Chains A and B, each alone.
Chain A
Amino acid sequence: MRKRLKTPEQQFLSELQQAEKKRFQTVKWLGVLIALTIVAQALGLAKVIADLVLEGSFPLSAALLAGGAYLLKVVVQFVREQLCASASRNIRFSLRKRLINHLTKLGPNRLQLDEDAGLSTRVYEQVDALDDYYSRYVPQVFLVTFIPLTIMLAVLPVSWIAFFIFAFTAPLVVFFMILVGHKAANANRKQFKVLSLLSNQFMDLNQGMAELKRLGQTQSARERLSLTASEYQKTTMGVLRLAFLSTGTLELFSSVAIAMVALYLGLGLLEQLPWQTGVSPVSLFAAFYLLLLAPEFYLPLRQLGNDYHAKQKAEAAATDIQAILDVELNASSEHKQVSVHEVSALSLTPMIELVDLHWQQNGRTRLANISAAIQQGERVWLRGESGAGKSSLMSILLGFEQQYQGSILIEATPLYPMDMQAWRHRLAWLPQQPEWVQGTIRQNLELGLGHCSDDALRTALIKSHCWDFVGQLRFGWDTPISEAGTGLSGGQMQRLSIARALLSQADIWLLDEPCSGLDSETAEQVLNTLDEASFGKTVLIISHDTHPVVWANQQWVMTKEGVHVETQTPISYV
């Protein structure tokens, strides 16, 4: 077959394969052994049959050869299967580890790809979708050339005619497989798309089930599901008929070829061949030898045809998996040591100072040039249109993004040479959707902190105005926060995350639109709570203009051109 240019997916798959090179090498050698046992088995069995039929005797040595070859083949197949499976497992499980590791390092950037649920499908189901490819398809690719070649060589000394039948039909089989298979592959790809569309529709309607019930439209949605499914069945069957045609052609060729060999041999034995009547070109032994080898000649090809979809499945999965690994990890970039400031004794050293900070990614400006500073205990309201880079700045400060230019000085020390762990320990992070794990309120508050005393917990809950509603719960802070919602409102959940920030003793708080999911009344109350709770901390808060942060000392107005710093007289209740 013509070597085509490898697509990125194939490239990716073969790179993964390299890690298990040794195993696949062994598998290849075992394949050679299998090919030899096939020939030996045919040889032995043919001898047994010929003697049995013609002389009524049973050649023990030939029978032992056939039986021994069969047993050896079976055992080698077993070992080979084990090896392939363990190679596939090694590849998949280490890939999965790599993916999880990568996703972790991406931090908030992972959400550019997909939601967590979608990512988990990629990490688990999609990675497992590679199994058939590595455990069946890859080993088969070698056999599909090696076994037929071995058989052809083994047939050569016995019968020229059989050799030519094989030699002619094999390329024909391959030719037709490519011809039909190519069409079928295209059709198959379309089919995959339609299938996912249908699944999407099912998911989409199911997700909106509550709304459909409210609108009394469940029956019409059912009809829609049913109709598209029926239509899909019709179109898919059209596609599948074509797809199966490729396997069908293979089957046809192998069947016809086997029948041809059988017929040729039969007529030859009867001395009835039109071109050589009266002469028998083959002995009965040779005839059986050929007949037994004929199906084995086509078997690997047929199996490859069956496993072809494994390849397609793997390529589709590889696209999704690659997408994860393609999101650059921006760690370990070099930061030019910025000429250290002459720290003048007179001016206060800012807690955080941004010097000519900007960030370009793939030619796109993620963050325009910023120079600004926050003093210890100052609170900054970061505002600006969406896409100006507010979240990018957060990402940088959290240490998930290091490919920027310029520098960040934390108490006059550049951020990156600094110990990231130590820096992160000083941070508290409050995003739009508070981060929760399955567990009790207490477990969530203590998340990553280790055990906290009841007193500390109580103080944090009181300060964040959670005490009232947590106290109302039957199990207090031991009530589980399940994903189905305990009846806690968005505002209450956000307050709990304030309690968590308080509990962590962090002195720098980063908040990314903590109020955006809330109605303005609740948002105002949450902001007031934040005012109290974050007093004395160094705070950078992103908030939409509809939720003004009146207690901030500074406003940073971010635009695509840069940032404009305004001082603001804080209106604080503290």
Chain B
Amino acid sequence: MSKRKPQSLTFKSLLLENPFGLLVAMLVGIISSLAAVALLGISGWFLSAAGLASAMGAALVFNFFTPGALVRLMAILRTAGRYGEQVFSHDHLLGLLRSLRLWVWDQRVNTPQAKVNKQTKGDLLQRLVGDLDQIIKWPLAVVMPWVYGLIGCLGLLALGAFVSPVLMLPIAVYGVVQLWLMPWLANRAALLSVYTMQALSVHRRSRFMSVFSALITLTIRGHWQHYSERLDNLDERQRKLQARLQRSTSMTKLISQLMSFLLIGSFFVLCLEISDQGISIQAEVEATWLVALVLAALGVNELMQPIANAVLAQGQSKVGLKRLNQLAISRAKHELEHVQVLPFASISLREFSGRYETSTIHLPKVNFALARGGSMRLVGASGSGKSTCLAAIAGDLSYDGEVWLDDQRLTHLDAPSWRNQLAYLSQQSVIFQQSLRANLCLGNATATDAELYQVLHTLGLKEWAEALPNGLDTLLGAQGRDISGGQARRICLARVLLRGSPLLILDEPFDGLDSVSIERVCEALTHGPYRPDFLIYVSHIDTALDQYSNSCSLN
């Protein structure tokens, strides 16, 4: 598998993710950029030298093959380079996308369950996807243009030194201003706006969600106007920020163009002298090379343009990175991997209760012990914390109290080794956008078709599954969109039953089942193939299962 990523993401780690790929893309890009500048420079020199030779009557001895070939070579290099750069850099970008997604995945896997639930809610995930798309563009939008600009300036510097050493100063100043001073100033002027804009758009969206989730109540009460105005205000602020950012980007471009103007102006000023006959070129400067330099400077000017846009991309990527890093795990992962759960013959819960991280409600505590083969039904009024208790045993929520396996106290209920011992049917039915078979096989990857049909039969789903167009290979929509709630529930139950874990925890397993299926499930759980070593469940329906179970009251 791929290598593990560092704990938090930085720009450096983005660059080092696949340095070879980035380097190749950049090299090709550099060749292409230089070729573009050289194409102008060489053509300029070639033309002026040819013109001069012709004027001096030396046209016949002028070697036009080499420069002619060079011009063609540069043209081809520029094109091939541009193409290669795009291909390589996008390959790199997609690779980055893949590894960033996996990074996010790893962080979420290692996050305590209670927090994962929080992250899943709302539009956080949506935002994550957006942030990822933003960040992967960073090398392409920020780093590469800057490098090309730098190389272009260096090339210009070399040419300048060749034409007349005195020209090196303005070129160096130009390079420093364009590559360091301008981005720095633009950053200072615009970065805050970028941050504000990002923060504002999150705020705006949550306000939108909030207002729309209460739309009908607000409309009925006639107060919609007031709330929608506040939404409009946020939008108006966003608009002003966008305008400001746009202005500063355009301004940067304008100044950068003016700098190029000054640079070329300075070339002329430094290479010319004023005499009685007017202005003429200094004797030691070759006019043909000066022409090449001027044209090359125009080429470099083109290279500088994308740098102006980089400020925005830089700011957005920075915010994106910051947000992604908030996902970074706070707890050392190995702590949980060390927890070992040995086979056990009894479970006992002492003063146990589940708890939501944010809640202050104290739920009733439970005390019970369960020997192998035992079964326990939790009973209690609605809201007494039955489901919370089950979720806490399964490691989905925080808990108070103690859990003992034989004479061993288990402290980390969200350790993978504990989860391996249990199968838990939660209240929410989760259906993945995969085939029916893949959804079921999440419970047991090696289950055969016969086993799958058997469990479907137990739950009364066999006829339905057989009637599906592609049988077990029928694709189920995201979040179980094209199946009924009852079917989704039963598929989840099937998955849990297939796991064949020693401890089975079921939250309302009979919801949405007809009485025949309920009987079959009870039979299968007590005598049949799905009989667990330990069973803890909550059900508002009395079933045959209760005869084999003790009950524990939460009141």
Q: Please tell me which one of the listed residues B54, B121, B442 contacts residue A270 in the complex, with CB atoms under 8 A apart.
A: B54
Asked whether any CB of chain B lies closer than 8 Å to the CB of A438, the reply is yes
Interface check A52, CB cutoff 8 A: yes
A348 to B: closest C-beta gap in Å: 26
Q: Are A226 and B98 in contact (CB under 8 A)?
A: yes
- B383 near A491 (CB under 8 angstroms)? yes
Please name the 9 residue pairs, one residue from A and one from B, whose CB atoms are nearest each other, closest first.
A448-B221, A487-B359, A284-B51, A229-B98, A255-B75, A211-B430, A522-B382, A58-B279, A248-B83
Would B235 and A220 count as touching, CB distance under 8 A?
no
Across the interface, A210 reaches (CB within 8 A) one of B122, B247, B396, namely B396
Q: A251-B82, A472-B361, A489-B383 are in contact. Are A120 and B216 (CB under 8 A)?
A: no
Whether the pair A272, B82 counts as a contact (CB closer than 8 A) is no
Instruction: With CB as the reference atom, state the residue of chain A lying closest to B444.
Output: A215
Q: Are A232 and B94 in contact (CB under 8 A)?
A: yes
A124 and B116 contact, CB distance less than 8 A: no
The minimal Cβ–Cβ distance linking B353 to chain A, given in whole angstroms, is 12
Binds A, one of B64-72, B147-155, B519-527: B64-72
Residues of B within 8 A of A438 (CB): 206, 210
* Count class of interface residues, chain A: 35 or more
Which secondary structure dominates where chain A touches chain B? helix
In the complex, A326→B154 CA distance in Å? 56
**Chain B minimum-CB-distance residue to A433:** B213
The answer to whether B209 touches A120, judged by C-beta atoms less than 8 angstroms apart, is yes
Complex interface bits, B346-361 against A, C-beta within 8 A gives 1, otherwise 0: 0000000001101111
Task: Report the separation of the CA atoms of residues A258 and B277 in the bound assembly, to the nearest whole angstrom.
Answer: 37
User: Using Cβ atoms and an 8 Å threshold, which residues of chain A touch B122?
Assistant: 117, 483
B281 partner residues in chain A, CB cutoff 8 A: 52, 56-58
Q: Which residues of A contact B71 (CB under 8 A)?
A: 259, 262-263, 266
Smallest Cβ-Cβ distance to B221: which chain A residue: A448
Say yes or no for B322: interface residue by CB 8 A criterion.
Answer: no
CB distance from B276 to the nearest CB of A (A): 12
Shortest distance in angstroms between A203's beta carbon and chain B's nearest beta carbon? 6
Q: A240 vs B85: C-alpha distance in the bound complex, in angstroms? A: 12
Is the Cβ of B278 less than 8 Å from the Cβ of A251?
A: no
The interface residues of chain A lying within 8 Å CB-to-CB of B396 are 210, 214
Residues of B near A182 (CB, < 8 A) are none
A58-B280, A251-B79, A448-B222 known; A271 and B54 CB under 8 Å? yes
- Which residue of A60, A265, A469 contacts B383 across the interface (Cβ within 8 Å)? A469
Q: When the two chains form their complex, are residues A116 and B478 in contact, meaning their CB atoms are under 8 A apart?
A: no
Complexed CA–CA distance, A14 and B212 (Å)? 30
Task: Judge if B125 is at the interface, Cβ distance under 8 Å.
Answer: yes
Q: A93-B239, A117-B123, A252-B79 are in contact. Are A263 and B68 (CB under 8 A)?
A: yes
1/0 contact string of A228-271 vs chain B (CB within 8 Å)? 01101100110011001101100110011011001101110111
* B217 contacts A447, C-beta separation under 8 Å: yes
Q: What distance in Å separates the Cβ of A500 from its nearest Cβ neighbour in chain B?
A: 8
In the assembled complex, A49 has its CB within 8 A of some CB on chain B:
yes
Could you tell me the distance between the alpha carbons of A53 and B209 in the complex, rounded to whole angstroms? 68
- Is A208 on the interface with B (CB-CB < 8 A)? yes
Interface flag for A96 (CB, 8 Å): yes
Known contacts being A237-B91, A237-B94, A448-B218, is A213 close to B51, with CB within 8 Å? no
Q: At the interface, yes or no: A486 with Cβ under 8 Å from chain B? A: yes
- Which residues on A sit within 8 Å (CB–CB) of B247? 82
Cβ of B457 under 8 Å from chain A: no
Q: A279 vs B102: C-alpha distance in the bound complex, in angstroms? A: 68
Contact B419 A100 (CB under 8 A): no
Q: Are A209 and B2 in contact (CB under 8 A)?
A: no
Q: Is A418 in the interface zone, CB < 8 Å from B?
A: no
A-B pair number, CB within 8 angstroms: 383
Q: Are B211 and A210 in contact (CB under 8 A)?
A: no
* Extra pairs beyond A216-B420, A447-B214 (18, CB < 8 Å): A53-B48, A56-B280, A58-B280, A93-B239, A108-B216, A210-B426, A244-B86, A247-B83, A267-B50, A435-B216, A435-B217, A436-B213, A447-B218, A473-B361, A483-B121, A484-B117, A486-B358, A487-B388
Cβ of A425 and Cβ of B90 under 8 Å apart? no
B180 in contact (CB, < 8 A): no
Annotate B230-249 by CB proximity to A: 1 below 8 A, 0 otherwise. Answer: 01100110010011001100
Question: Measured between C-beta atoms, what is the minimum distance from A285 to chain B in Å?
Answer: 9
Known contacts being A200-B433, A447-B217, A447-B221, is A103 close to B212, with CB within 8 Å?
yes
Which of A82, A266, A427 has the largest number of chain B CB atoms within 10 A?
A266
Given contacts A53-B287, A60-B279, A486-B356, contact A429 B217 (CB under 8 A): yes
Contacts A207-B125, A270-B53 given: A56-B98 contact, CB under 8 Å?
no
**Cβ of B220 under 8 Å from chain A:** yes
User: A485 at interface (Cβ–Cβ under 8 A)?
Assistant: yes
B79 engages A255 (CB within 8 Å): yes
Could you say which residues of chain B place their CB within 8 Å of the CB of A431?
216
Known: A200-B433, A424-B219. A86 touches B47 (CB 8 A): no
Interface bits A88-120 vs B (CB < 8 Å: 1, else 0): 010001001100110110011010000011011
Q: Flag if B113 contacts A486 (CB, 8 Å).
A: no
Cα(A201)–Cα(B361), bound, Å: 37
24 A/B residue pairs, CB under 8 Å, sorted by A: A77-B257, A78-B254, A100-B208, A101-B228, A116-B208, A204-B433, A207-B125, A210-B116, A233-B98, A247-B82, A251-B83, A252-B79, A255-B78, A263-B71, A263-B72, A266-B47, A267-B64, A267-B68, A272-B59, A272-B64, A431-B216, A436-B213, A519-B508, A522-B383
- B83 touching A437, Cβ below 8 Å: no
Q: Is the CB of B254 within 8 A of A74?
A: yes
**Is the CB of B540 closer than 8 A to any CB of chain A?**
yes
Q: Answer yes or no: A287 CB below 8 A from chain B CBs.
A: yes
A448 near B232 (CB under 8 angstroms)? Answer: no
B234-289 contacts to A (CB < 8 Å): 235-236, 239, 242-243, 246-247, 250-251, 253-254, 257-258, 261, 265, 268, 272, 277-281, 287-288
Q: Mark B111-141, 1 if CB is under 8 A from A, else 0.
A: 0010011101111011011100000000000
Name which of A63-71, A349-357, A454-462 contacts chain B: A63-71
Number of residues from B at the complex interface, CB < 8 A: 139
Decide if B204 is an interface residue (CB 8 Å cutoff). yes
User: Nearest chain A CB to B99's CB is how many angstroms away?
Assistant: 9
Query: Do A504 and B221 have beta carbons less than 8 Å apart?
Result: yes
Instruction: Say yes or no: is B545 at the interface (Cβ < 8 Å to chain A).
Output: no
* Cα of A265 to Cα of B49 in the assembled complex, Å: 12
Residues of A within 8 A of B169 (CB): none
List, in ascending order, chain B residues with CB within 8 A of A525's CB: 382
Instruction: Verify B356–A203 contact, CB threshold 8 A.
Output: no
Return the contact of B442 from the options A215, A251, A288 (Cβ within 8 A).
Answer: A215
**B332 contacts A by Cβ under 8 Å:** no
Is A16 engaged at the interface, CB distance under 8 Å to the other chain? no
Query: Are A521 and B540 in contact, CB atoms less than 8 angstroms apart?
Result: yes
* Docked complex Cα distance between A87 and B101 (Å): 36
Nearest CB of A to B215, in Å? 6
Residues of B within 8 A of A448 (CB): 214, 217-218, 220-223
- Is A280 part of the contact surface with B, judged by Cβ < 8 Å? yes
Contact of B291 among A49, A104, A271 (CB under 8 A): A49
The verdict on B33 contacting chain A, using a C-beta distance below 8 Å, is no
A270-B64 contact given A229-B101, A425-B221, CB 8 Å threshold = yes
Does A342 reach chain B (CB closer than 8 Å)? no
**Which of these, B94, B108, B224, contacts A236 with CB under 8 Å?**
B94
C-beta contact mask, A42-80 vs B, less than 8 Å → 1, else 0?
000100011011101110100100010011001101100
A85 at the interface (CB under 8 A from B): yes
Q: A225-B101, A233-B94, A287-B51 are in contact. Are A266 and B239 (CB under 8 A)?
A: no
Instruction: Enumerate chain B residues within 8 angstroms of A469, measured Cβ to Cβ.
Output: 361, 383
